Amino acid sequence: MDRRQFVIGSGALAGLSAVGWPRLANAQAAQKAVEAAQAFRGSEVTVVWEAGLQALDPLNFSGPMWEEATGIKVNIVEVPTSEMFTKILQEHRAGTGAYDALNVVPAWMPDLVRAGALEPLDSYVEKYGYGPELETIAPVYRDNQMKVDGTIYGLPDDGDVLVLYYRTDVLNDPALQSEFKAEMGYDLPVPPTTWKEFDDVGAFITEWSDGKIYGAGFMRESTYGALMFQERFRNEGGRFFDPDTMKATINSDVGVKVFTDWVAENKWMPKGVQTWGFVENLAAFLAGDTAMTVSWPPYGRWAAGYGTDTEALSWVPKSTIGGKVGYAMTPGGHPQLALGFALGVSSSSRNKEAAYLFCQWLNSAEISLQRVQLPYALRDPFRDSHFASEEYKSRWPEAPQYLQALQDGAVNGLLDLSIIQTDRYEEVIRQSVTRLWSGEDPKAILDDAAAQWDSLTERIGLEKQKAAYASWASNPAAYPA
C-alpha cells in the first residue's frame, strides 16, 4: 500500500493544492501557512532531520505534500541524533546559511540559544496566527519544550515518552498468578508499579517458565542506559546535584542501588542483554521471548502489527504478540520524556520566513495528526487532539489504551536534564554504563562520574551552572513530586 494513502484518509488536507482549499473566515494554521508560503513559490528550504526512519516523514510524506501545495522544495539533510547538536552548532559558527529549518532535541535548546544558533519565533507565531493551536499542544511539551527565557525558539513536535509494555496473556495467566502469590505472599501486580515488584515478577516468570519466556528484556546499551538511569534514579528518590553547592550526587546510595539492581536483573534476563539496543530488544519482545520491556511509543504500534506490512518497516520482525500487549507507566509512575524533537529555524538561514511556515504547517493540528499516525516515521502523539483522535483509536483494537498510556506519560513524565553543556554530563553517564557492563564496581564508577561532573561544573562556572540547574529543577516535571 502506498505510504501516503495509508494515513491520509478521506477529508484530509494532505496533498491538496492551496488553490483547492476553501478560504475560511477563521483559517486554520495549516491553511494559513500554505497561503502565506505562495510568496516564496520556487524557493527551497533545507531541513536537518534525524537519520533513518524519522526522515521518511519529510522525504516521502510531508515534504512532497508541502512542495505540491506551495511550490517550495524541501531538501532533507539526514544526521544521526548523536551528531545533530554538533552539526547545527558547527554550521552556525561557520555562518554558511546551509540550514534553514532544524530538528532540535529540547534539552539542547538552551545551549543552542546561548550560542545564538536558533531564531526567535514569537513574531512569526503572531504574524501567522499560530498561538491558539500552540495552546492545544499537551502542556508538558508546550510549557517545557518551546521557550527559553520566555521566548519561543521551538515548536514541540514529538511526544517521546518511555512506556512499560507487558504481555497480558502471561501476567494474567491463572497458574502463574496462583504460584506467584503462594511463593511471594502477595498478588501478582498487573502491571508492576514499583521496581521491586518489577524485579519480583520478572525473576519469577523466568524461573516459572524454565527460561522459555524471560521476565523482561531491556535496551542496556549505553546510549539508552543513560536515559533510563536518569528516569530510574529520580523515581527512586535521587537528585542530580546538591542545589546549594552544585556538587554532583549521582553517586549517592540511590545511584549505587540503581546500578547494583541493574546487574542483578541481568541474571534473569536473556543472555547478552547488556549489549542490546533498540532493535535487539524489539525483536525479542515481538518474538514473545520476553514478557515485559520499556521503550518508546513505536514498540506499542509495531507489537500490534500496525503498518509493519509497509516497505519501510520490512526490517521489523513479524509480531507474535498482537492483541496480547498492555501499556502502562514505567515502574515508579514517572516515565522519562526521553529525547523528543522541536522544530526550529536556523538563525543563519537566508530563507527564515519560508522555513518557519514549513514548520508551522508540519506542526499544525491537521498535519501533525496525520504525521503521528505514520507507522514508520517515529513521530509520536504530542497534542491533546492526537490522544483523543477517533481515527487514531480505530487503528488497532488496543489503540485507545495505547493513546491513554501516552497521555498519562505526558502528564506524569520527567524531563531530560537540561543545563549548560548537558551532553557532556550525559556522556559521562554513557561511559559509566559501559563500565558497569564491563564488570567494574558500581560505587567506584559513580564516584568517578560525580568527580567528572564536578570538574565540568567548575570549568563551565559554578554560579552559571547553579543558576541553570535551579531554573531546570524548579520545573514540576524535573523531579517526582
Contact in structure between 376 and 51 (CB atoms under 8 Å): no
Locate 436 and state its grid cell.
Answer: 558497569
| Reported confidence tier of residue 24, pLDDT bands at 50, 70, 90 | very low
**What percent of the chain is predicted at pLDDT more than 70?**
94
Q: Examine the domain organization and report whether 13 and 97 are in the same domain.
A: yes
Quick: pLDDT tens for 397-406: 999 999 999 9
3-class SS at 235? Answer: helix
Q: What is the pLDDT of residue 300?
A: 96
Q: What is the pLDDT of residue 16?
A: 29
| Reported confidence tier of residue 20, pLDDT bands at 50, 70, 90 | very low
Instruction: Say how many domains are in the chain.
Output: 3
Q: Examine the domain organization and report whether 119 and 260 are in the same domain.
A: no
Question: Mean per-residue pLDDT for 34-59?
Answer: 95
Bin 343: left if φ > 0, else alpha if -120 < ψ < 50, else beta: beta
Q: Examine the domain organization and report whether 245 and 269 are in the same domain.
A: no
Q: Examine the domain organization and report whether 359 and 440 are in the same domain.
A: no
Evaluate whether residue 401 is within a structural domain.
no
Is the per-residue pLDDT at 1 higher than 80? Answer: no
Q: What is the pTM of this model?
A: 0.91
**What percent of the chain is predicted at pLDDT more than 90?**
90
The domain of 463 spans 222-252+417-481
Q: Examine the domain organization and report whether 306 and 188 are in the same domain.
A: yes
Q: What is the pLDDT of residue 7?
A: 30
Q: What is the pLDDT of residue 481?
A: 87
In angstroms, the CA 99 to CA 86 distance is 13
Q: Examine the domain organization and report whether 146 and 168 are in the same domain.
A: no
What b/e readout covers 165-204, taking b as 16+ CB neighbours within 10 angstroms?
Answer: bbbbebbebeebeeebeeeeeeebeebbbebebbbbbbbb
The H or E element containing residue 101 is: strand 101-104
Q: Examine the domain organization and report whether 146 and 18 are in the same domain.
A: yes
Is the per-residue pLDDT at 52 higher than 60? Answer: yes
In angstroms, the CA 260 to CA 299 distance is 27
Say which CATH number the domain at 195 has: 3.40.190.10
Output DSSP code: residue 128: T
Q: What is the dihedral of CA 138, 159, 78, 151, to 10 degrees?
A: 30
In angstroms, the CA 450 to CA 240 distance is 9
Q: Examine the domain organization and report whether 188 and 230 are in the same domain.
A: no
Quick: pLDDT tens for 211-268: 899 999 999 999 999 999 999 999 999 999 999 999 999 999 999 999 999 999 999 9
Q: Examine the domain organization and report whether 320 and 174 are in the same domain.
A: yes
Is the per-residue pLDDT at 4 higher than 50? Answer: no
Q: What is the pLDDT of residue 193?
A: 97
Q: Examine the domain organization and report whether 169 and 318 are in the same domain.
A: yes
Question: Mean per-residue pLDDT for 134-161?
Answer: 95
Evaluate whether residue 407 is within a structural domain.
no
Q: What is the pLDDT of residue 27?
A: 55
Using alpha carbons, select from 186, 199, 334, 319 the residue that is nearest to residue 267.
199
Q: Examine the domain organization and report whether 214 and 293 are in the same domain.
A: yes
Q: Examine the domain organization and report whether 356 and 457 are in the same domain.
A: no
Question: Mean per-residue pLDDT for 307-328?
Answer: 93
